[in-house]
Each structure stands twice: as C-alpha cells, then as structure tokens.
C-alpha cells in the first residue's frame, strides 16, 4: 500500500538536504549560468542553420539549458541512494513497515522538486540575459515538461543506483550516459544539423522531446508539436519510473 506519510517524510528530507547544502545549490546553478553566458553570448550574433527567423540564439538556447539542468540534477539524484546505502539509512527505511513503492515515490517526488527549483531559478536568471517567455500559459506548460523530464531521469538514476555499490563508478557511468543524451537532444543546436546517421539516435533520446517541448511552450518554436512531445515524454517517464521501482525493489540495502 502507498504510505503518504512516508512519501512526505522522504520528500521533506530531500528538500532539507538540498537547501542546507549551500555548495550544492551554488554548483547546481553555476554550470547552467556559465553555459548561458559563454555559449549564449558567444554565439549570439552567429546565424545558425535551422533556427527559425526571428529567434535569436539566447532564446533558442535557454530551453536547452533548462533541460540540461533537469537532466543532470535528476540523473545524479540516484547518487543519494548509494550514500544512504553506504551510511546505513537505506537499510533502516527498507526494513520499516512501509512499501518500497512508497520509498520510490518519495525519492522521485523529492528529486523532482529540487530539480524543478533549480530549473525555475535558471529560467528566472535567463530573463535578465534577454530571454522572453511567450506567455503565462506557456510557462505552466513548461513546468509540466520539467516534471516529466525529472521523473524520467530520476527513474534512470534509480535503475543504475539500485544495481551498483560503488559511488565513484556511478558517477563515471552517469557521465558516460548523460553527456551523449545532452548533446543528442538538440539543447545546443537543432538536431537537423546532425548527420542523418546520428540523427536517429536523437529520436530515441527522451531529452529530445523534453527540450523540444520546452521550446514550444516557452518561445513557440518546436520541431514536433507540443502535444506529441508531451505524450512521448510521458510514456518515457512511465517506463523509467516502472523500471526504476522494479530494480529498487529487487535491490538489497547492503
């Protein structure tokens, strides 16, 4: 059965851990801001192929950087599972009289909330760099895409964290997976600029639909329709959560 109290406690724990770790908050915001500042302004006056007329590079880049923020923070949320296993907290909650599904939902809720806070902060900072949101409705739709991106990649992080014991190894494997997902998503450039033999990899990358949906919601420009991106990303998130919950339930606390 689903235990709402357990979900709330685990969610609150993740929020408190995030807020209290000042260095973590700074690091989570610093890299996306550097990307926006150096890449955005560096390529600001360059006319990149396949970017629609009237859309400058800053406006094109911001949804991609928001997607990148969600990807990195969500995927590495799985690292907390390894930390909890290392210090015995995971064993304590696994033997508690609550379902493991409640534990998974609590972790996903906490990770999604912290990732969402980071992404909204980046979105607010980008406004001072010249980014313009299409409208309030678009902003709320973008929040929905952020939630789906976060749940998708938290599920991915749980899959790997549930099958690993080494924290250093987890970081290396996640970097090996995360960076290709990021570059193939079209976050920095239109995927149409990729060679056809690479482009098909972008179409099986969940972040592609997240970034494209964010662009459609925030600036009104997208390769696919917003509805199509929403449906595809929703399906990806369901699969990732289901597999993440399955592997977490099969994992051992020690």
Q: Helix 206-219 crosses helix 136-162 at what angle (to 10 degrees)?
A: 160
Mean pLDDT for all residues in the chain: 83
- Burial of 105 by CB count in 10 Å (0-12 exposed, 13-18 middle, 19+ buried)? buried
What would the mean pLDDT of 26-55 be, rounded to a whole number? 78
The residue ranges of every structural domain in the chain are 4-250
pLDDT tens per residue across span 158-170: 888 777 776 667 7
Q: What percent of the chain is modeled with pLDDT above 70?
A: 88
Q: Helix 57-75 crosses helix 22-34 at what angle (to 10 degrees)?
A: 150
Quote the pTM value. 0.88
Would you say residue 46 has pLDDT above 90?
no
Would you say residue 65 has pLDDT above 70?
yes
Say how many C-beta atoms besides its own lie within 10 A of residue 234's C-beta.
16
């Amino acid at each position: 059965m689903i235990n709402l109290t357990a979900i709330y406690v685990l969610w609150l724990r993740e929020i408190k851990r995030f807020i209290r770790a000042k260095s973590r908050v700074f690091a989570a915001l610093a890299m996306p801001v550097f990307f926006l500042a150096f890449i955005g302004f560096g390529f600001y006056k360059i006319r990149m192929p396949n970017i629609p007329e009237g859309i400058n590079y800053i406006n094109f880049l911001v949804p991609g950087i928001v997607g990148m923020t969600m990807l990195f923070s969500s995927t590495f949320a799985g690292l907390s599972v390894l930390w909890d296993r290392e210090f015995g907290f995971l064993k304590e909650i696994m033997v508690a009289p609550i379902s493991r599904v409640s534990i998974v939902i609590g972790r996903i809720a906490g990770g999604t909330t912290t990732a969402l806070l980071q992404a909204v902060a980046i979105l607010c900072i980008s406004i001072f760099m010249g980014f313009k949101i299409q409208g309030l409705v678009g902003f709320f739709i973008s929040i929905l895409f952020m939630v789906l991106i976060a749940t998708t990649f938290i599920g991915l992080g749980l899959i790997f964290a549930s099958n690993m014991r080494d924290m250093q190894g987890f970081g290396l494997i996640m970097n090996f997976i995360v960076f290709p997902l990021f570059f193939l998503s079209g976050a920095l450039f239109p995927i149409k600029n990729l060679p056809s033999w690479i482009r098909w990899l972008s179409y099986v990358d969940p972040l592609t639909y997240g970034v494209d949906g964010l662009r459609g919601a925030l600036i009104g420009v997208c390769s696919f329709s917003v509805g199509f991106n929403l449906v595809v990303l929703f399906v990806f998130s369901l699969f990732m959560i289901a597999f993440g919950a399955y592997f977490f339930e099969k994992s051992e606390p020690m």
